[in-house]
Amino acid sequence: MKIITMHLGELDTSCYIVSSDKGNAAVIDPADNAPFILDKLKQNGLTLEAILLTHGHFDHSGAAAALKKKTDAKIYLHSADADMPYDSRKNVSYLLPGYVLEPFEPDVIISDGDKIKLDEITFTVMHTPGHTDGSVMFITDNCIFSGDTVFCGSVGRTDFYSGSITKQRESLAKIANMSGNYEICPGHGDASDLETEKAYNPYLSPAYLERR
């Protein structure tokens, strides 16, 4: 498995191209600039097979429609966020005056525990509502693509449509109880790892998670 990291869009979203040994690829959270992503795929001799969205906000899905048109790759999105591409309030694109998210229909509705295969790579879907009701993380053997569920030292905000601090705390508790160590590739900011976040991220501490 190889990972190419890009930082795209107005909010500097971390977008990832994950490729298999056979040269097939999934793009996670294509924030913006489909031509740039397509060029990156071409430079590396990769064929795009899947577009994996950790949630439905515009800054994680801005290039999804264009990529699907150009490659016929399937878009994967949780059912709770499936209507977001058509509503600027729900996908929060209203925050950028003049910006219009090109709408799209997800091809595959994903749920907690689903497995997405890309040759030798398996992504396991972990439903982590809180930032949005349909937020998920994609977990491989040694890596968590966490979207806006958890960042290096922080977590995603919960004050937009379908956000819930109660659900977020429940999701974070599941993460805090995970065993083993994983590299964390978040939707914004620096990469980290699970052991570091469990030790130092205040939102994964028992004191925070036990609040009611």
Give the chain's domains with CATH numbers. Answer: 2-209 (3.60.15.10)
Of residues 53, 61, 52, the one with CA closest to residue 86: 61
- Mean pLDDT of the 32-57 span: 98
Query: Would you state the pLDDT for residue 96?
Result: 93
Q: What is the pLDDT of residue 210?
A: 85
Residue 14's DSSP bridge partners are 7
When pLDDT is cut at 50, 70 and 90, the band that residue 211 belongs to is: confident
Residue 190 pLDDT: 97
pLDDT (tens digit per residue) in 16-25: 999 999 999 9
Written as six digits, the tokens of 166 are 């109660």
Candidates 161, 134, 135, 138; CA nearest to 148 is 135
pLDDT of 212 strictly over 70: no
Helices 64-71 and 34-43 cross at an angle (nearest 10°) of 50
Whole-number pLDDT of residue 85? 95
For 93, the token pair is 């694109």
Residue 163 has pLDDT above 80, yes or no: yes
17: helix, coil or strand? strand
Mean pLDDT of the chain, nearest integer? 97
Report percent pLDDT > 70 for the chain. Answer: 100
Structure tokens at 171: 């999701």
Q: Is the pLDDT of residue 42 over 80?
A: yes
Greatest pairwise CA separation for the chain in angstroms: 50
The answer, yes or no, to whether residue 28 has pLDDT greater than 90, is: yes
| pLDDT at site 36 | 98
Per-residue pLDDT reduced to its tens digit, 105-128:
999 999 999 999 999 999 999 999
